[in-house]
Amino acid sequence: MRWKLLRRRLSVSAPRMIVRSHLPWPLRWAVAAVAFGFSAALALWAFEFGKDIAGLDRGAKDELSRLRNEAAELRDARDKAQSIANTAESLLKTERVAQERLAAQLRQAESDNLTLKADLGFFERLLPAAGAVEGALVLRGFQIEPDGAGSWKYQLLAMQSGKASGVFNGRYDVTLSGTLDGKPWAMSLPAGMQTLQVKQYARVEGRIAVPASAVVKTAQLKVVDASGAVRASQTTRL
């Protein structure tokens, strides 16, 4: 019986045996991870060592250094160009301000020139007329010109010849004549004759409103004294 059991265990028909490891599975995973890490480190070392042998890493470092130097040079060139552009813009602004100042000064000089010419003409009118009677009233520089739509501006200088003349008290009127809608037309100052007082000289100016369709051809200035007698008159054709 024992022989049969022994032969049975040693024969092909003997029951299967399972060999189990005595290491627990966490420890087996740790051993596998260590082995894998060691293999990866060895492969990385071999790759780096191969690059050093082939000279690839040295070339890449040189290329990287060259690119960094070029980038620094380009930044310096950009900074210089920006500085030049800022300086040029500042100079342009300064030049523009200077031109505007010069233009303003030129306009002021032209205005002063016109004022001086007007003053010169005014004082030239103060010169006594040739052959003027002592104490006579003289009208100088009577001018009239359009001053906008439907308005005319007039100005004149009234003088008394001689040094010992008294004060002249009188009135003056301005009469415009021409055509209105194709018909003869004339009008005087709407407010009537204006007061005029002259000691040595008096500068007079004013405006007259006329119909928009009126065509002004002549303007007549007339000065009368306190008694109503005409002391001076002047007519200007336009």
pLDDT one-digit tens code per residue, 57-96: 556 667 778 888 888 888 888 888 888 888 888 888 888 8
Tokens of 39: 């293999």
Residue 227, amino acid: S
Angstrom distance (rounded) from CA 83 to CA 101: 27
Residue with token string 């439907």? 150
Average pLDDT on 29-41 reads: 70
pTM: predicted TM-score of the whole model, two decimal places:
0.46
> What is the predicted pLDDT for the residue at 223?
92
With 80 as the cut, is the pLDDT of residue 117 above it?
no
Tokens 């800022």 -> residue: 86
* Per-residue confidence (pLDDT) for residue 128, from 0 to 100: 54
Q: Please, is 86 exposed, middle or buried when counting C-beta atoms within 10 Å of its C-beta (0-12, 13-18, 19+)?
A: exposed
Please determine, for residue 44, whether its predicted confidence score (pLDDT) is greater than 60.
yes
Q: Are 142 and 221 in contact (CB under 8 A)?
A: yes
Question: Does 55 score more than 60 pLDDT?
Answer: no
Q: Where do the structural domains in the chain lie, given as residue ranges?
A: 137-237
Query: Rounded to whole angstroms, how far apart are CA atoms 70 and 12?
Result: 81
pLDDT (0 to 100) of residue 172? 93
Share of the chain above pLDDT 70, in %: 68
Round to whole Å and give the CA distance between 191 and 173: 10
pLDDT at 118 over 60: yes
Taking only the tens place, the pLDDT of each residue in 103-114 is 888 889 888 888
Q: What is the domain class of 137-237 according to CATH? A: mainly beta
Type and span of the H or E element at 138: strand 137-146
| Measured CA distances, 157 to 30, 121, 201, 219, 223 (Å) | 122, 11, 7, 16, 12
Q: Tell me the pLDDT tens digit for each residue of 153-201.
A: 998 888 887 665 678 889 999 999 999 888 999 999 888 899 998 888 8
Q: How far is CA 172 from CA 77, 139, 220, 222, in A?
A: 81, 11, 10, 6
Say which residue, 9 or 77, is predicted with more confidence: 77
* DSSP β-ladder status, 194-198 and 183-187: unpaired
Higher pLDDT, 11 or 188: 188
Q: How far apart, in whole angstroms, are the C-alpha atoms of residue 35 and residue 42?
A: 11
Mean pLDDT estimate for the chain: 77
What integer pLDDT is reported at residue 202 of this predicted model? 85
Residue 83, judged by CB atoms within 10 A of its CB (0-12, 13-18, 19+), counts as: exposed
Contact present, 194 and 173 (Cβ < 8 Å): yes
d(CA 206, CA 195): 12
